Amino acid sequence: MRTLDQCVRDLAAGTPSRSLVEDCLARIQDGAGEGRRVFLKVHADQARLTADFIDATRRHGAAVSRFAGIPISVKDLFDVAGDVTTAGSRALRDATPAASDAPAIARLRAAGLIPIGRTNMTEFAFSGLGINPHYDTPRNPFDRLTGRIPGGSSSGAAVSVTDGMAAGALGTDTGGSCRIPAALCGIVGYKPTARRIPTAGVLPLSFTLDSVGPLAATVACCAALDAIMAGDEPADIKPVDLDGLRLGAPQTLVLDDLDATVSRHYAAALAALGKAGARITDIALSDLGEIAVLNRRGGIATAEAYAWHRALINEKGAVYDPRVLARIMGGRDQDAAHYIDIVRARADLIRRVAAISARYDALIMPTVPIVAPPLAPLVAHDEAYRAINLLVLRNTSVANVLDRCAISIPCHRRGEAPVGLTLVGEHGADKTLFAIAAAVERVVSPVVNA
Beta strand pairing call for 420-424 and 406-410: antiparallel
How long a stretch of residues is the chain?
450
In our burial notation (b when 16+ CB lie closer than 10 A, e otherwise), range 320-356 reads bbebbbebbbbbeebeeeebeebeeebeebbeebeeb
- How many CA atoms, within 13 angstroms, populate the side-chain half-sphere of residue 71? 36
Specify whether 89 is catalytic.
no
Dihedral sign for Cα 293, 313, 210, 370, please.
Answer: positive
Catalytic residue status for 153:
yes
State which H helix or E strand residue 114 sits in. strand 114-119
> H/E element holding 376?
helix 375-380
Which H/E stretch holds residue 400?
Answer: helix 397-401
Distance CA(436)–CA(219), nearest Å, equals 10
- Annotated catalytic, 75? yes
Integer Rg of the chain from CA: 21
What span, in angstroms and rounded, lies between the C-alpha atoms of 315 and 92? 11
- Packed helices 299-316 and 336-357: angle between N→C axes, nearest 10 degrees: 140
Quote the CA–CA distance of 384 and 326 in Å, as a whole number: 15
Classify 410 as helix, strand or coil.
strand
CB of 234 within 8 A of CB of 227? yes
**Catalytic pick among 17, 127, 160, 177:** 177
Catalytic residue among 17, 73, 75, 206: 75
Q: Would you call 41 exposed, middle or buried from its count of C-beta atoms within 10 A (0-12, 13-18, 19+)?
A: middle
Catalytic residue among 17, 89, 127, 153: 153
**Which active-site residues does the annotation give?**
75, 153, 177
